[in-house]
Chain A
Amino acid sequence: MYHNMLNLLSILMLISAFSLIANKRQNSYISTFRFQSALLAGISLLVSVRAMIVTKAFDEVLIMFMLIVVFKVVVIPRYMKSTAERVEYKVEKDFFINIPMSMIICCGLVVLSWYVIYNIDGITDLDTKNYLIYSFSVVLLGLFFMISRKKAIGQIIGFLVIENGMFLAAMLTTEGMPMIVELGLFFDLLTAFIIMGIFVFKINSTFESIDINKLKNLKG
């Protein structure tokens, strides 16, 4: 039952990554990201509660759950929304590859990650293999999202999705990395996000747009 629930939630995360790629509007990127983070929070809660039941001691993943809820579900989407409202919006069509094509590419990416993970003989636990496939696919999908969008905001969202995939992998394969590492990771990535946000404003003020296509002075 526990693994069934985790399976369900992680699959939903994968599906939300797909629907992110099928989305066209900035605001729906943000709300899809929020949905995905909420799923991640659910997974972390499940993992920590189960660990607490098994060991009858406080589990550190619970702290991660709170951090995810506070930052990823509430603060970051809100900050993204206000950023998206404050920068100018001029890009008509936000993607390089049309949606059906990119969906099929993403399907290929999932198959690729399946192929890679499935051929590791060392992972004997089938559930772990599953989870690794999902989290690796989420990472690849986030990467593809970053490549396929023109706007700086889209790239930040892609980065955040990659991050979600990382946390998914860390949580489900090893039941959480050591606490210091995990906290460090979280605040590192949070800082990365804030710095990216600052750069979005800088790009907007110097290039008068957040279209990344305009950033092509440097070549070769």
Chain B
Amino acid sequence: MIESILKLIIQIMITLLIAPLFTGVIRKMKAKVQHRVGASVFQPYFDLTKLFKKDLVVSGTASWIYNLAPYVYFITALAAMCCLPVVYGLTGFSFYTDLLVVVYLFVGGRIFMALAALDTGSTFGGMGSSREMLVSALVEPALFIVIITISARTEIASTNIADIYKYMAVNTGTAFTPMNILLFASTLLILIAETSRIPVDDPATHLELTMVHEAMILEYSGRHLAFIELGTYIKQLVFMTIMANILIPAGFDNSNFILGFGIYLLKLLVITVLVGLVELNTVKFRLYSIPNFAVIALVISILGFFTGFILR
């Protein structure tokens, strides 16, 4: 019991420590390509500390949902992260973890955010939450097919992460099977859509015609905003961890903690670079083109499903 609580604490600390880093890396990468110096890789950390120091401004018409939502959003993301294995032998909630739980935790956080955005009655909030829900609904089928395929690969067809985890421990050599690669590609697209990155959403602009996620959190400030931002970073980390540890399990079965952690970080960096490359090579889609994007993710995941079942 003590041991698992200790593990939980370690995992939470790791999560909080590394989550904002990757957004910084993507920003730096974009800046370099555009021949700018760009902010430091650690800029997201500075932003977060600054936001935590600032005062809150809360609308007079806001109800308790508005005040609660950032915490729910943050906590659900953190809980989702604790479900996942980071390094061999380290899982926060080792007693019960399930991939579907991860998805539902995200849905819970998202519902609170959407409600909170509606709560203040501003026009942007409503627009943002409706768009955010649209995007999430569009990529949901692809996400579920990915999860089904991953779980169906284990012998007892379980979505329990512990089972998947056991399966991985003996099958780390199968890192580049066609199924893994297809699911990886699909999850990359899902990650882009879910964490509001270009081409689905542009986190850097506040243009009323294009913004999705930013419109939803436009009213927030100070500590609340910091929690939301941190929640988004963690969410990004969750998807990256799924990609790094479940879809490409190469190098995962390393009993040396430091080495395992190094490999994990390296894989995360590779994924970050991939996301950055996608961002650099595309322009933001119109809202009506997002279904096309989601369909690509869906089709690739279906292909992964087929190859996974037929060619194993």
Contacts and interface: CB of A to CB of B under 8 A. Distances in A.
* Direct chain A–B contact by Cβ atoms under 8 Å: yes
Interface of A: 4-5, 7-8, 11-12, 14-15, 18-19, 22, 99-100, 103-104, 106-107, 110-111, 114, 118, 126, 129-130
B310 interface: yes
B296 A19 contact: yes
Nearest to A3: B176
Nearest to A110: B303
A15 B185 contact: yes
B300 interface: yes
B306 A111 contact: yes
B311 interface: yes
Contact of B302 (A14, A15, A107, A118): A107
Interface string B296-307: 101110110011
B176 to A, nearest CB: 4
A22 B307 CA distance: 21
A11 B298 CA distance: 16
Contacts, number: 52
Interface residues of B, number: 20
A29 to B, nearest CB: 14
Contacts of A129: 311
B299 A103 contact: yes
Sorted from nearest, which 3 A-B pairs have the closest CB atoms?
Answer: A4-B176, A100-B295, A99-B292
14 contacts: A4-B176, A7-B177, A7-B178, A14-B303, A15-B185, A19-B296, A22-B296, A103-B295, A103-B299, A104-B295, A104-B299, A106-B299, A118-B310, A130-B311
Interface string B274-307: 0000000000000000011001101110110011
B299 A11 contact: no
Contact of A18 (B175, B176, B296, B306): B296
Contacts of A14: 303
A112 to B, nearest CB: 11
Contacts of A126: 311
A7 B176 contact: yes
A129 B181 CA distance: 17
A199 B307 CA distance: 40
B181 A11 contact: yes
A126 B143 CA distance: 28
A114 B176 contact: no
B182 interface: yes
B287 to A, nearest CB: 15
A106 B303 CA distance: 10
Given A103-B295, A114-B306, 16 more contacts: A4-B175, A7-B176, A7-B177, A11-B181, A12-B181, A14-B303, A19-B296, A22-B295, A22-B296, A100-B292, A106-B299, A110-B303, A110-B306, A111-B306, A130-B307, A130-B311
A178 B310 CA distance: 32
Given A5-B176, A11-B182, A18 B300 contact: yes
Given A114-B310, A126-B311, A7 B181 contact: yes
Given A107-B302, A107-B303, A114-B310, A22 B292 contact: yes
Contact of B299 (A4, A18, A118, A130): A18
